[in-house]
């Protein structure tokens, strides 16, 4: 990974391939390793940049507390510094909140479309907020995090996914997990859900949601109903069994992204 100074922080990134730019952004307490099997698939046709959030990746130290809005600030500063004038951001999980903030700020000329992956699109119930509260509680955070881990992994035997969760994600500190919980809860309390956030973009543009979980038919139907009234929104259900389609089925994810971008 390369390093770049953005404000008072050092961020890690890499840059592979040629063609239209795809910027890969992980969720909280994840990093570039989430995309290790996806990048080779996408780099056949695109310039693919993996950028780690502040305090993530190879540079875990950072300049104090930060918010989703400041994550967006960092990405825009990175794009300016790299002289990238047009791109399609591809985010996973709750990295979607910063992605849509970036998408909204930069407009359709610079970001003509956007991709979000496995990001809870409907308004969560209070049980979800209770789990989010648990990861902000220093006395209970590992148990709360374990509830998420178990659901995300499901019954997979894919070692890349098991390692990503139990080794890579588990190495992030209580402070980062608590920060993630605070920012995720704050976003859902403010907007209701990501579809409602996207509905108020200043400039509409095609956005696809590529996902495997949750599996309930009502979840898929809610997205189809939203898409029926918002033709720019395109849900794309994959047959996978985990929260990590980029590791579980990278070839299918790459093909889906390529078709959408084309």
Residue pair 8/82 in contact (Cβ under 8 Å)? The answer is no
Decide if 243 is catalytic.
yes
Which among 134, 164, 209, 243 is annotated as catalytic? 243
Residue pair 204/197 in contact (Cβ under 8 Å)? The answer is no
Cα-based torsion angle of the residue sequence 243, 244, 250, 256 in order, rounded to the nearest 10 degrees: 40
Closest CA to 29 of 197, 141, 191, 193: 141
Residue pair 103/71 in contact (Cβ under 8 Å)? The answer is no
Alpha carbon distances (Å) from 75 to 64, 82, 98, 138, 226: 17, 10, 9, 30, 29
Residues in the chain: 262
Catalytic residues: 243
């Amino acid at each position: 990974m390369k390093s770049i100074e953005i404000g008072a922080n050092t961020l890690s990134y890499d840059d592979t391939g040629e063609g239209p730019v795809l910027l890969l952004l992980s969720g909280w307490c994840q990093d570039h390793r989430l995309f290790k099997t996806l990048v080779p698939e996408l780099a056949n046709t695109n310039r693919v940049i993996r950028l780690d959030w502040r305090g993530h990746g190879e540079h875990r130290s950072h300049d104090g507390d930060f918010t989703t809005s400041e994550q967006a600030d960092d990405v825009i500063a990175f794009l300016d510094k790299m002289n990238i004038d047009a791109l399609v951001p591809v985010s996973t999980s709750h990295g979607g909140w910063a992605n849509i903030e970036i998408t909204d700020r930069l407009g359709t000329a610079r970001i003509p479309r956007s991709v979000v992956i496995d990001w809870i699109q409907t308004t969560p119930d209070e049980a979800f907020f209770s789990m989010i509260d648990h990861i902000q509680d220093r006395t209970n955070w590992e148990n709360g995090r374990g509830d998420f881990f178990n659901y995300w992994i499901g019954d997979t035997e894919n070692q890349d996914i098991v390692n990503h969760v139990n080794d890579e994600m588990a190495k992030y500190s209580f402070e980062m997990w608590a920060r993630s919980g605070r920012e995720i809860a704050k976003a859902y309390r403010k907007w209701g859900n990501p579809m409602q956030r996207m509905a108020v973009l200043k400039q509409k543009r095609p956005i696809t949601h590529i996902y495997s979980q949750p599996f309930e038919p009502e979840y898929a139907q809610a997205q189809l109903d939203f898409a029926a009234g918002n033709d720019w929104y395109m849900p794309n259900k994959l047959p996978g069994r985990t929260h990590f389609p980029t590791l579980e089925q990278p070839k299918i994810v790459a093909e889906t992204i390529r078709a959408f971008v084309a």
